[in-house]
Amino acid sequence: MAGMLADLYPWVKSFHVISVIAWMAGLFYLPRLFVYHTEQVELGSKTDDMFKTMERRLLRAIMNPSMIASWGFGLLLVLTPGIVDWSTVWPWTKLAAILGMTWFHMWCAARRRAFAEGRNDRDGRHYRIMNEVPTLLLLVIVFSVIARPF
């Protein structure tokens, strides 16, 4: 198994990067949709229905599959011999940020459900602030893996 993972490493890493990019795109875009949905859309209107459809499709067709793929390919990378040295700090900071990213994904899913059920209780400012969370987590992940300052 270890030899096969080593042979497939460039492919697994490529698919991991592609799936992370798709996941991040959704994590950046869905909260922005929430801002516009909150500030610009009348509850029960055709536009409200359109936003609900856009939010549902973004989450289910792009974000969920890409999160699962990111985790799957990431775990394969971790299992590849010689890739991760757990005695250093960087894999732990990356793991913490990935768990934060996964929490944020679940938070977005819960907020999407609230919109779908007509019970959103947050304002646009709240979603604008939350829209910065994936950026901060992305910075931690990229610096942890590439610069390895820890």
Q: 15 pLDDT band (50/70/90 cuts)?
A: very high
Would you state the pLDDT for residue 92? 97
Tens of pLDDT, residue by residue over 58-85, are 999 999 999 999 999 999 999 999 999 9
Give the contacts of 98 (CB within 8 A, at least 6 positions apart): 74, 141
Q: 143 pLDDT band (50/70/90 cuts)?
A: very high
Mean pLDDT of 40-61: 97
Which single residue is written with the structure tokens 């973004």?
58
- Indicate the pTM of the whole model: 0.94
The answer to whether the CB of 97 falls within 8 A of the CB of 33 is: no
Give the contacts of 33 (CB within 8 A, at least 6 positions apart): 51, 54, 55, 58
The answer to whether the CB of 80 falls within 8 A of the CB of 116 is: no
Would you state the pLDDT for residue 107? 98
Would you state the pLDDT for residue 6? 87
* Domain residue ranges of the chain, discontinuous segments joined by +: 2-147
Tens of pLDDT, residue by residue over 92-116, are 999 999 999 999 999 999 999 999 9
Rounded CA gap, 4 and 57, in Å? 36
Q: Whose CA is closest to 36, among 127, 132, 119?
A: 127
First to last CA, the chain: 31
Would you state the pLDDT for residue 111? 98
Would you state the pLDDT for residue 16? 98
